[in-house]
Structure 1
Amino acid sequence: MINSDYITEQFEQLQQNICKVLDKADGKTSFKMNPWQKDIGRGVSGVMQDGKYIEKAAVNFSKVSGPYTKQMAQLLGEDANNYTATGVSSILHPINVHVPIIHMNVRYFELDNGISWFGGGIDLTPHYIIKEDAQWFHQQLKKVCDKTYPNFYERFKPWADDYFFLPHRNETRGVGGIFYDRIKPDEKLSIQQLLNFSIDLGELYPKIYSELIQRHGDKPVSEEERKWQLLRRGRYVEFNLVHDRGTKFGLVSGGNTESILLSMPPDASWEYMQTPIEGSREAETQKLLKKEIDWINIV
């Protein structure tokens, strides 16, 4: 029977699988698994720091439940008395500026009024946008989407463009990816199919990053490139603290604060009125931080 307990077990296994692949990709260190328990539920925070290629990484599993508060109702727009939520979320911050930041989340939400849904996605945030990498990344996502339902990529790609966007900067967080939320089982897609899609997406995530590490992890980095990396990380912090709904929900639900804020980079910077030099790689990256780019056909 497919229920929240079964889905929880699948997500716990997914967390372990992701960590194993990333341990191998980094090669120097491995994830430290830190279980936690609170009144609302439990989880495991997987943390890697100071690896060969990965400066800071988090792969978190959690299952929480409890009273459905007014704050949750305002965030989610549903009426209920109690909720259960389980999922895996991850963020990887590389050492090398030529390797992008990447984020993944898959989750299942269930209310006691009988409503349940899946959400999640993957997005890529290069410090320097390499069109060939962005194209390959989106091709991988489309393959996984097409395996489950023909229009998932065409539906979820624009959703990511809109979600991973900093309106106060009028720029996207990176080259997007896919994002989906409130995807409910129906006559076209069963709960098992939606769970399989979430697991497939989660399994793809470390494979994508392993490839990008192989492509760029050993490239030399200049002082100016490192400075740009810290500025781009600052934009990442702005999005996570100001706009990210997962961060907001985690904090208002009383989740594990340390686990929620593991998405923050180890270092970041903000420079007043920073403007890239026209024609530079920094300026070219800045120009590509916009919605509605067809990355699959861009090269």
Structure 2
Amino acid sequence: MTEHFDEHKTRAAAWFRALRDEIVAAFEALEDAQTTGPFRDVPAGRFEVTETRRQSEDGSDAGGGHKSILRGGRVFEKMGVAVSTVYGKLNPRARAAMAARKDFPGMEDDPRFWASGISLVAHMQNPHTPAVHLNTRMFWTPHGWWFGGGTDLNPCLPYDEDTAAFHGVLKERCDRHDPDHYPRFKAWADEYFYVPHRGRARGVGGIFFDDLNTGDWEVDFAFTQDVGRAFLPAFLPLVERRRDTPWTDADRAAQLAHRGLYAEYNLLYDRGTRFGLETGHDPEAVLMTMPPLASWP
């Protein structure tokens, strides 16, 4: 299985990097085009790119990637995009977590893994412009492989028309592959992006899928690519619609409070955050998605 999947790994990792490049270019263009509003006179935001590395428990190289972070722009208060390709052996804690999910029987005997993906979160200057998250990934072990990911919208001041437009793009892309995908993965997102101790959702949802393995790698990869391609058409029109909306101190307070909720979810429940920290990935890259400012009661 290892030799058979070498080409698949190469293609998947290259796709995630290409998606990163497309998103970074689109958001820097958005910064350039913002010539109105209270931040029009600050320099247009640019992404600072740094390398990330993962070390195995014995100190050997175990892959890495790059994190791209934009801070203090005209549109984005903080925007982070990370791509990585990591590999090695799962440590006992991560191995136990995989076993508990029953994803890959045999991990106790052969705990080798390979994972590649892209993850991003955008925190906006204007409280009326929604925050957003995207993640897609491929995970491989000698015992199996799967794709996962999704995207969800996180407004502090929700607009029904924005929610409908965002979901509309996702449904159209899902329907290209299977009419059952959107209702299934929307419901999965509603369940996954729920904050139990607050008794509420993190945002207005989107789609989420995990452990996707139909037995046809090409089919699953094509769907994962379409989820990535849907991101800009789903999100950019909302930014363009809301970025010049006037806001008040109360709006800003609502934004900071919602970011507190977002931070709680990411630290307590997000599976990707836990996996990254438990497998020794660069913590700065794993926690890159945290908001620049937040508040709590």
Q: Which residue of 2 aligns with 1:225?
A: 251
- CA deviation profile, 1:124-174 (whole Å, cap 9, x unmatched): 011011111111111110011111222110110010000000010110001
Whether the 8 Å contact between 1:98 and 1:219 is mirrored in structure 2 is yes
Counterpart pick for 2:46 among 30, 38, 41: 30
Aligned-partner Cα distance in 2 for 1:33–1:142: 33
Q: For residue 74 of structure 2, give the secondary structure of its aligned residue in structure 1.
A: coil
- CA deviation profile, 1:199-229 (whole Å, cap 9, x unmatched): 2221221333221111000111111111111
Aligned-partner Cα distance in 2 for 1:36–1:135: 37
Counterpart pick for 1:248 among 274, 285, 294: 274
Counterpart pick for 1:111 among 130, 138, 141: 141
1:20 aligns with 2:36: no
Identical aligned residues as a percent: 35
Counterpart pick for 2:66 among 44, 54, 60: 44
Deviates more, 1:53-62 or 1:23-32: 23-32
Q: Which residue of 2 aligns with 1:84?
A: 114
Aligned-partner Cα distance in 2 for 1:247–1:206: 23
1:235 aligns with 2:297: no
Q: For residue 267 of structure 1, give the secondary structure of its aligned residue in structure 2.
A: coil
Aligned-partner Cα distance in 2 for 1:261–1:96: 22
TM value normalised by structure 1: 0.86
Q: For residue 176 of structure 2, give the secondary structure of its aligned residue in structure 1.
A: helix
Q: Which residue of 1 aligns with 2:196?
A: 167
Cα offset for 1:76? 2.2
Counterpart of 1:182 in structure 2: which amino acid? Answer: D
Whether the 8 Å contact between 1:41 and 1:65 is mirrored in structure 2 is yes
Q: Which residue of 2 aligns with 1:64?
A: 86
Gaps of at least 5 residues in structure 1 are 272-299
Whether the 8 Å contact between 1:17 and 1:203 is mirrored in structure 2 is no
Counterpart pick for 1:207 among 226, 233, 236: 233
Whether the 8 Å contact between 2:45 and 2:76 is mirrored in structure 1 is no
Aligned residues: 267
Q: Which residue of 2 aligns with 1:195?
A: 221
Q: Which residue of 2 aligns with 1:75?
A: 97
Whether the 8 Å contact between 1:18 and 1:203 is mirrored in structure 2 is no
Q: Which residue of 2 aligns with 1:157?
A: 186
Q: Which residue of 2 aligns with 1:5?
A: 10
- CA deviation profile, 1:104-136 (whole Å, cap 9, x unmatched): 0000000022x0000000010110111111111
Counterpart of 2:22 in structure 1: which amino acid? Answer: N
Q: For residue 148 of structure 1, give the secondary structure of its aligned residue in structure 2.
A: coil
1:55 aligns with 2:77: yes
Aligned-partner Cα distance in 2 for 1:33–1:204: 24
Aligned-partner Cα distance in 1 for 2:51–2:282: 11
Counterpart pick for 2:160 among 131, 147, 151: 131
Counterpart of 1:216 in structure 2: which amino acid? Answer: R
Aligned-partner Cα distance in 2 for 1:37–1:252: 14
Aligned-partner Cα distance in 2 for 1:142–1:206: 14
Point out 4+ residue stretches in structure 1 off by more than 3 angstroms. none
**CA RMSD in angstroms, aligned pairs only:** 1.3
Aligned-partner Cα distance in 2 for 1:166–1:9: 34
Counterpart of 2:210 in structure 1: which amino acid? Answer: D
